[in-house]
């Protein structure tokens, strides 16, 4: 009742007419949860925290969640691919600069050096800002899930979690 598979276009489904905006995007079933806060997941999908894992009966009654909170697994794969493509573009521009230098054309050398530097700087900045956003949004996701499930899960953060690298907890 509180989730939707669709992102910002969820309202296009006629079954949603008149319904309030869902709280989460993803799936929540009796044995598996994969969800993100709707507001964040509807706007951008890259650095949104996703809660993913299994629900299992606890020994003393109740339910235990075993899983992770972090980037969507598809995003974890795509980020290095994008970095690789940007790296190839930067390498191509740098090789062009070396060729210009070898040919004695100093006029085109400046853009050939600045383009790779700008691409690499932009990529690093986007990743740093994105990972900070991810860590800032994780407690909000956990708090919202706690409110619905009446649970007591907490997020200790990267500094308090040994071995945590920002991709899960």
Instruction: Report whether 33 contacts 27 (CB < 8 A).
Output: yes
Q: Which two tokens mark 102?
A: 């070898």
The residue that leads in pLDDT, 110 or 163, is: 110
Q: What is the pLDDT of residues 17-66, one digit of tens each?
A: 666 667 788 887 778 888 888 877 777 668 899 989 888 887 887 777 78
Task: Report the C-alpha gap between 120 and 116 in whole angstroms.
Answer: 6
Any idea where the domains of the chain sit in the sequence?
Answer: 3-71
Q: Specify the pLDDT at position 168.
A: 43
Mean pLDDT score of the chain? 77
Strand partners, 27: 34
Strand partners, 35: 26, 51
Q: What is the pLDDT of residues 111-144, one digit of tens each?
A: 777 878 888 888 889 889 999 988 888 888 888 8
Q: Specify the pLDDT at position 132.
A: 92
Cβ-Cβ contacts under 8 Å for 45 (sequence gap 6 or more): 7, 72, 75
Percent of the chain past pLDDT 70, that is, above it, reads 76
Q: Specify the pLDDT at position 166.
A: 44
Cβ-Cβ contacts under 8 Å for 93 (sequence gap 6 or more): 111, 112, 115, 116, 119
Provide DSSP, 127-161: HHHHHHHHHHHHHHHHHHHHHHHT-------TTTS
Report helix, strand or coil for 98: helix
Instruction: Report whether 64 contacts 58 (CB < 8 A).
Output: yes
Q: Specify the pLDDT at position 81.
A: 92
Q: Specify the pLDDT at position 15.
A: 67
């Amino acid at each position: 009742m509180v989730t939707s598979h669709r992102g910002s276009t969820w309202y296009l489904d006629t079954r949603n007419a008149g319904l309030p905006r869902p709280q989460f995007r993803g799936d929540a079933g009796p044995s598996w949860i994969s969800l993100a806060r709707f507001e964040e997941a509807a706007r951008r999908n890259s650095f949104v925290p996703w809660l993913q894992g299994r629900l299992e009966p606890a020994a003393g009654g109740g339910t235990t969640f075993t899983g992770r909170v972090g980037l969507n697994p598809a995003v974890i794969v795509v980020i290095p691919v994008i970095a690789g493509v940007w790296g190839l573009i930067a390498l191509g521009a740098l090789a062009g600069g070396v060729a210009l230098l070898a040919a004695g054309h100093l006029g085109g050398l400046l853009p050939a050096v600045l383009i790779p530097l700008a691409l690499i700087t932009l990529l690093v900045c986007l990743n740093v800002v994105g990972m900070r956003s991810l860590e800032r949004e994780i407690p909000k996701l956990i708090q919202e899930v706690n409110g619905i499930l009446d649970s007591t899960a907490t997020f200790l953060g990267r500094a308090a979690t040994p071995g945590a690298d920002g991709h899960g907890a």
